Amino acid sequence: MSNIDLNEDELAVVADAKEFAAGYVARHCRQWEMDREMPREVFQAAADAGLCGLLVRTDRGGRGIGTCALLKVLEELTYVDMSVAFALVVHNNHARFIDNAGTPDMIEGYLPKMIAGEMIGAFLLTEPQGGSDAAAIAMRAEGDKGSYVLNGEKAWISNAPHADLLNVFAQTDPAAGARGIASFQVPVDTPGVTRLPAYEMLGCHAIGAGGFRFENVQVGPGQQLVPAGQGFKAAMAGIDLARACVAAMCVAMLRAGLDTAMPHILQRHAFGRPLAEQQGLQWQLADVATDMRASDLLAYDAARLIDQGGASAEAAAHAKKFATRAAFNGLNACMQAMGADGLKQDYPLARHLAAAKVAQYVDGTTEIQNVVISRALQKAYQTDE
């Protein structure tokens, strides 16, 4: 849809993603969902396809693609399965964090293994008592001179079953609020870290959402990625990118919905003619097509702003809010148009519908997008009086 200028290298990455998704992922994703887990070797297979260092610069072994190209890659993956795409983008984002802000030891010690799919990353911000108010995290990092002891619990962490390296956000000074938050790189086998069982959810089990408990976990000065004062900003720095990514994923699910429902209603008959000749159904799916197009434009509008280094918070919030709603409603419409057949696991619609619901929570709920948009509106209309 959106006409995006990608360079030759980026086009090659998108082609790799398409091949990986249409082959390996398509063969297994239904089974992973039935098993309620995705095996670890998927990361290895993704790395073999060149999809584990997407955002790492090329001279460090990554593929160094821009935001628009990342969205295209995620569309290819999500067309087949959103949860696999999400697991991979979380891992890739962690590698990007280290590439951008890591110490030389982190860059040397972790990045090659992450790009090779041997070390899996996870982003630990949300806690059991709440995720929307991220600045209010309660996990404590007590200490000084760069050495800290971590205590607390994290919840709803993607890649929890397989993560080897944890990007942990913790509060060094509760009185300082958001300014007290720092981030640490913690290998999962550090004494005091307990991996909790992944949740059973509506769907999307390949994401492997689960929790971690930290009891007197010692971290040294070399493990701090972002110091207090910058931790919250760092956690939020990638959020616009993440929101644009989720919007693009929704575009792909809508495309999959139409690609499934349209051939069905063209060939199936009711009341002596093809279902596709019923105006009610035509209009229902025409609305899906419109929403898909609008979601696409919003997603790439945000992506372009991110690539240009412009202010992107409002654009990303609009894109995520609109596209996640469109995907949930649009997939519901596609399923309805297919009658009972739409419920069958032979088709991807039920899996995508569950993923569209998940998309309404990850990287900030729909309501939090409205908080961002309302703030921008008020700023735009505020007078000095």
Binding residues (CB under 6 A) for ligand FAD: these are: 90, 123-126, 130-132, 156-158, 204, 207, 209, 358, 361-362, 364-365, 367-368, 371
Nearer Cβ to ligand FAD (205/304): 205
Nearer Cβ to ligand FAD (25/207): 207
Residues in contact with 245: Cβ distance below 8 Å, sequence separation at least 6, in sequence order = 70, 71, 74, 89, 363
Q: Calculate the CA 173 to chain-centre distance.
A: 29
Q: Tell me how far, at minimum, the Cβ of 186 lies from ligand FAD, in Å.
A: 14
Q: Which two tokens stand for residue 143?
A: 């200490």
Q: Tell me how far, at minimum, the Cβ of 158 lies from ligand FAD, in Å.
A: 3
| Helix-then-strand count for the chain, H and E | 13, 10
- Do you know the residue count of the chain? 385
Nearer Cβ to ligand FAD (68/362): 362
Q: How many CB atoms lie within 10 A of CB 2?
A: 18
Q: Tell me how far, at minimum, the Cβ of 138 lies from ligand FAD, in Å.
A: 13
Nearer Cβ to ligand FAD (185/284): 185
Nearer Cβ to ligand FAD (156/300): 156
Nearer Cβ to ligand FAD (182/275): 182
Nearer Cβ to ligand FAD (124/247): 124
Nearer Cβ to ligand FAD (219/368): 368
Closest residue to ligand FAD, based on beta-carbon distance: 131
User: CA angle, 95 as apex, 200 and 75 as ends, to 5°?
Assistant: 65
Q: Tell me how far, at minimum, the Cβ of 381 lies from ligand FAD, in Å.
A: 20
Q: Tell me how far, at minimum, the Cβ of 177 lies from ligand FAD, in Å.
A: 16
Q: Tell me how far, at minimum, the Cβ of 374 lies from ligand FAD, in Å.
A: 9
**Beta carbons of 323 and 250 less than 8 angstroms apart:** yes
Q: What is the identity of the amino acid at 110? A: Y
Distance set, CA 352 to CA 29, 30, 64, 249 (Å): 12, 11, 29, 10
Q: Tell me how far, at minimum, the Cβ of 246 lies from ligand FAD, in Å.
A: 11
Nearer Cβ to ligand FAD (159/284): 159
Q: Tell me how far, at minimum, the Cβ of 226 lies from ligand FAD, in Å.
A: 15
User: CA angle, 98 as apex, 97 and 100 as ends, to 5°?
Assistant: 65
Q: Tell me how far, at minimum, the Cβ of 131 lies from ligand FAD, in Å.
A: 3
What are the strands, taking DSSP E only, across the chain? 121-124, 140-144, 147-157, 165-171, 181-187, 193-195, 210-219, 224-226, 269-270, 273-274
Residues in contact with 3: Cβ distance below 8 Å, sequence separation at least 6, in sequence order = none
| CA nearest neighbour of 126 among 355, 356, 313, 362 | 362
| CA nearest neighbour of 134 among 171, 161, 185 | 171
Q: Which two tokens stand for residue 248?
A: 């693009």
Radius of gyration of the chain (CA): 21
